[in-house]
Amino acid sequence: MTLSPLSAHPSRLTTAAVAAMLLAASSFSFAQTTIRMTTTQSTECVAVTDANGLTLVPGGTDLQASGVALTGNGCGSAGSNFQAEISAPAAATVGTPFNVTWSAAQTATQCVYGTPSSGVSGWPAGANACTGSACGTSHTVPVTITAAGTYNFSIVCTSASGVATSAGVVATGAVNPPAPDNFDLTVTPSSPVAGSPFSVSWSVSNATECKGSVSGAATQLSGWTDVNTPSSPRSMSAAAGTYTLSLVCKNSAGQVTSKPATVTVSPSAGACVGPEGLTRIMTSNIGYGPMSSPIRSSVNVTEWDNIWGHFNSTDPIKPWPGYGGSGVNLMQFGRKNFLAAHFKTPSNVSSTSTLSGYFIYPVNLAGPNADMKISKTCGDFSPDTANPGCLVTNKSTSDEALVRWKFTPGNTGSYCILEPNTDYYVNMKFTDPNSTVECAAGSSICPLPTVHQYGGNP
């Protein structure tokens, strides 16, 4: 398309020569367009648009172009009084908002947002920016780069005698890696209950993806391992058991990994009914060794792993069958408490496995006689005719063995025969809550000591 002649002085056209054509043209395209214009001085100006070609100004009949390249002496000087002023930072971070400011000459009658049209949110390319006297004032546009790259911001303005456009400062979307590394995971509530939701939160900047993993009671956890978004927190629920959660957050520049977080999910309180008059103990300080030192405080004792899954106060949890010879003392066990500690046997244990173990009621931390049963039912102390070795009663603290367990069938009178991949509870209570043996008559607390031994191949 050629427009000739164009009655304007070349020194007044500036980069604006193309816009005069846009206002006069009667058709438009959606492909790269070349416009050749000749001034009254017979000097040529060639304008080449980007791939968007010519488009209608939204809500109007004028045409506009973005990304125009001008060549030729007829295009005028860059110092035109129609030049717009635009300011943007020299560098920006992907995903972090920043401001682009601009203003036009007082003679401008209308301004339209030009490039960029992709990779940036908040900059409405092609939309009307101002009309009339408002164009001459300062404008601030908050924008966010959504992909790494180099961007030029432009404004196209018109006046009664010409048009001008100006490119903004180059803004490069430099991607910073996520931070910090080794970040914390916070579980709320800290002692969740099976079937009830709990949340895990964290604080990491610059991440575009966060992937969770879990070990312990499960290798998959809905709401944690099947979500990739970086948004915190995440909500989930889980069956009773001990879980170790980790999170890896990353973007194109790198990744960071959380500290592991151990979550013990307790069985639902309504699912555990013990003997009449007794209350299930939920937490206790736990001592290790003959002198009950060192101590772990406020331990969730509804899970076996939290008790005999430790050998001292600082070692990591070792899931069932835990550490051989793990001696513990539940220091806040009450006369009218009962213990119901959940565990789940591994799925890879065969009926020919030599894995076996037993519990001891040690004499060095003596207390009232106790009953113990390994059962599939929480709080159960009833006789088991099919598996009688799972229950022992009225045992004293004279280093007597309590329940012995194994996986090999046979000899059920002396052993509790366990099944693989099955949930069980270690249930314990004092045989006579009112006994004064090794426990003062007025005391409501009678610490409960045990040692767990096992051998054979897991």
Instruction: Look at residue 398 in the predicted model and tell me its pLDDT.
Output: 79
Are 130 and 246 contained in the same domain? no
Please report, for the domain that includes residue 259, its CATH number: 2.60.40
Residue 180 domain flag: no
Q: Kindly state whether residues 397 and 414 are assigned to the same domain.
A: yes
Residue 97 included in any domain: yes
- Kindly state whether residues 48 and 121 are assigned to the same domain: yes
What per-residue confidence (pLDDT) applies to 14? 40
Residues 280 and 384 in one domain: yes
Q: Which residue has the higher pLDDT, 197 or 48?
A: 197
Share of the chain above pLDDT 70, in %: 78
Mark whether 259 and 276 lie in a shared domain: no
The per-residue pLDDT for range 84-130, each reduced to its tens digit, is 778 877 777 777 788 888 888 777 788 888 877 677 888 888 888 88
| Percent helix, strand and coil across the chain, each to the nearest 5 | 10, 40, 50
- Beta bridge mates, 340: 427
The per-residue pLDDT for 194 is 79
Sheet of 128-131: strands edge to edge? Answer: 128-131, 110-113, 154-158, 163-167
Q: Does 179 map to a domain? A: no
Do residues 408 and 260 share a domain? no
Q: pLDDT value at position 20? A: 40
Count the alpha carbons within 13 Å of 235 in the hemisphere toward its beta carbon: 3
* 3-state SS, residue 59: coil
Residue 380 pLDDT level (bands cut at 50, 70, 90): very high
Q: Which residue range(s) make up the domain with 200?
A: 186-265
Measured distance CA(448)–CA(83) in Å, rounded:
85
Is 54 inside a domain boundary? Answer: yes
Q: Same domain, yes or no, for 144 and 20?
A: yes
User: Are 444 and 325 in the same domain?
Assistant: yes
Query: Residue 170 has what pLDDT?
Result: 53
What confidence category does residue 224 fall into, taking pLDDT thresholds of 50, 70 and 90?
very high
At residue 18, φ and ψ (nearest 5 deg) are -65, -35
Token representation of residue 92: 């920006």
Whether 146 has a pLDDT exceeding 80, the answer reads no
Residue 181 lies in a domain: no
Lowest mean pLDDT among 34-38, 132-136, 410-414: 34-38
CB 263 within 8 A of CB 243: yes
pTM of the complete model: 0.47
The answer to whether residue 297 is domain-embedded is yes
The reported pLDDT for the residue numbered 26 is 35
CATH label of the domain that carries residue 122: 2.60.40.10
**Residue 38 and residue 126 in one domain:** yes
328: exposed, middle or buried (C-beta count within 10 Å: 0-12, 13-18, 19+)?
A: buried
Return the number of other C-beta atoms located less than 10 Å from residue 229's C-beta: 11
Query: CB under 8 Å to 110, separation ≥6 — which residues?
Result: 128, 130, 131, 132, 135, 157, 158
Domain membership of residue 153 (yes or no) is yes
| Count of domains observed in the chain | 3
Q: Is the pLDDT of residue 185 over 80?
A: yes
Mean pLDDT, to the nearest integer, of 372-397? 92
Q: Mean pLDDT over all residues of the chain?
A: 79
pLDDT of res. 268: 67
Same domain, 75 and 139: yes
State whether 307 and 448 are in the same domain. yes
Q: Of the candidates 135, 150, 174, which is a domain's last residue? A: 174
Residues 223 and 298 grouped into a single domain:
no
456 versus 449: which is more confidently predicted? 449
